[in-house]
Every structure is written in structure tokens, then in C-alpha cells.
Amino acid sequence: MMCQSNTLQGPDLHTGKWLQFPQLALRRRLGQLSCMSRPALKLRSWPLTILYYLLPFGALKPLTRVGWRPMSRVSLYKSVPTRLLSRAWGRLNQVELPTWLRKPVYSLYIWTFGVNMKEAAVEDLHHYRNLSEFFRRKLKPQSRPVCCYHSVISPSDGKILNFGQVKNCEVEQVKGVTYSLESFLGPCTSTEDMQFSQTSSHNSFQNQLVTKEGNELYHCVIYLAPGDYHCFHSPTDWRVSHRRHFPGSLMSVNPGVARWIKELFCHNERVVLSGDWKHGFFSLTAVGATNVGSIRIYFDRDLRTNSPCYSKGSYNDFSFITNNNKEGIPMRKGEHLGEFNLGSTIVLIFEAPKDFNFHLKPGQKIRFGEALGSL
């Protein structure tokens, strides 16, 4: 009986070892992963995380029982080398296409994104030597009449994501998702070129931007889709006195992603142009995005965006006010200001009297030259 008991226990123990073996191996492997540096750990976790989200029926969920945790979708997306991909895309855009290939390539893009080539100054697709020239195509002057009866016009074609008064130093990038005004524009400076009011330090950042008593701070966010006209213009008569360039990520600014990632506009590379108009502070910010590493400001030849190396959280300031130029860069309403390489986002933040009204609806399509708001 004793021998029979021993022979019965043997297979049970042997089976138990086999059942434990995968878990022990996984724990040992995960222990090795935990000792890796953070960049190496992210790299090694990528394949498993991607499979975790892609495979059906929770195929990799058993891994979570032995201590493995997938990267969050946001972390996974943030770890994608979007700057490198955007630089590669930028170089691809500069490659001259054979004449016979231009029409089929551009026609596919036109069909995919709904581009209206009847508005283009040059409708002949063979005229555009590469994708970059096609993206930056000019329009016929009569296709975008500039509204003369409203004080602020749309600087570009696009979709209105959000607009209204800035409250509690927070701005909505899309409905219900906010970002910090100070993180977006950067800290105030005490130099004359920024035209900030000299208020006491206990006042909020928002109050420091308001230069005239009784005024409020307003914002408007315009999303440019890949099929939209890619140039942007001056939204009003104003004076640009300062440029601040924030190197950063180049994540997509699609409204769906903007709802997903908090403070997306603060993470992405952007160029802030600030100055003043007849009612006080005025700023226009061009926000970069995936495949839109190139932000060009026509009067700023020193600006270089999407550089290979940058310090996270850093920014570069440049003043247009000098000893020889006390006025900065005067801009007229509708005047050409800059361009993107592909679709992106324009954010206007400006000071105006309390009776300023927007003539907009969230989500509406708008074209350059149409009214944004007036007094």
C-alpha cells in the first residue's frame, strides 16, 4: 500500500512541476526586464504590448497574472519616434516625381482627402514637381475673399475645435479636454517686446496677459486636415514682436487624438508668435503634428523646426524689436504669414473687450478669410 501511495504521488508532483514551469520561466524573464534601463525596457515591451492590444479574445491576458503589465495605449503612442518619421516624410516630400507619375499620385491624394483643385492657382497636376510643392499650392485670389466687416478672420481653412473665453488659466483643446495656458505659451518675460502688463507676482498668468482694464482673454482652435489649404494668414491687423519656438513631440493633432491625450498641444512642437493689436495682447500659435515637422514663418528666416536634437521642455526666444526696428513686424489682415507641410492646428489667444462675440459653432468647417468674431 505504501508503494502504491508513493507511485501515485510521483506523477502528481511531476505534473505540478510542468504546470509551474511556464510561470517560473515568465517570472524569471520579467525579472530580467525589470533590471533593464527605461529606454531598453520600452523597446523590449513594444512587441508584447502591441500584440496584447491587437490579438483577439485576450490571448495575452494570462501574462498579467505573472506580473507583466502592458504599456498604456497613450504611453505606447508617445513612444513612437514621430519626429524621426516626420523628418523621413519631409525628405520623401522633396523627391522629384517623374512627370508620368505625378497625376496618379496627386489624384489619389485628391480623392482620399477631398481636395478641391479648382481653387488652386495652378490646376495642372504635372506642374508640381514633388509632394511638398503640391501640399503648399497657392490659391486663386478670388477663391478666398477676406471679410472686411469683422475684426478677426480665420487665418486658415479648417475645422473649429473650440473657442470662447479663457477661464482659470485653462484652454480647451477639444470639448472637455484642457491644457494649461502657461505651459502652452511659456512663462512671461519682463522685456518690452512681449508687451505684457507689469502686474504683481501674485496675479495669475492669465491676468498678466490682459493689458487693458475691462478686457477678457479669448481663444480659438482651428484644425487643418490633410486635404485643407496648408498656408495660414494674418487673422487681423496686428504687430508681431516676439517668437517663441518649443521643440517637442510631433503627435497627431487629429480631434480623436486630442480627446485622448491631455495637454497634447503642450507636448507637440509649436511656434508662438505674440504681439499686440488695437485691443491689447494677441498671439497666433502654429502647432506641429506627425509628418508636419516643418513649420515655416515667411518673415522669420532663422526659424528651424524638427531638429534632430533638442532638450525636452526647452524653448527658444527671438525678438523682432531691435534698436533699428521699434515696431516689430506689422501684419495686415489676410496677409500671408506661414505654412505647414501637411495638416495641423492653429491656436489664437488674444485680448479683447467683454462684448467681443464669436460667430462660430463647434465642429463647423471654415475657410481662410471668413469671420471668426467681432465687437
- Cβ(237)–Cβ(177) under 8 Å? no
d(C-alpha 274, C-alpha 249), whole Å: 22
d(C-alpha 374, C-alpha 254), whole Å: 28
Contacts of 251 (CB under 8 A, 6+ apart): 77, 78, 82, 257, 261, 264, 267, 268, 289, 290
Concerning whether 79 is annotated as a catalytic residue, the answer is no
Residue 350 DSSP label: E
Cβ density class 323-357: b for 16+ within 10 Å, e for less: eeeeebbebebbeebbbbbbbbbbbbbbbbeeebe
Q: Which of 219, 230, 233, 245 is catalytic?
A: 233
**Residue type, position 61, single letter:** K
Concerning whether 233 is annotated as a catalytic residue, the answer is yes
Q: Which of 45, 154, 157, 267 is catalytic?
A: 157
d(C-alpha 219, C-alpha 360), whole Å: 12
**Plot region of 167 (φ>0 → left; ψ -120 to 50 → alpha; else → beta):** beta
Residues constituting the chain? 375
Concerning whether 157 is annotated as a catalytic residue, the answer is yes
Q: What is the separation, in whole angstroms, between the first and last Cα of the chain? A: 100
Question: Which amino acids are annotated catalytic?
Answer: 157, 233, 344
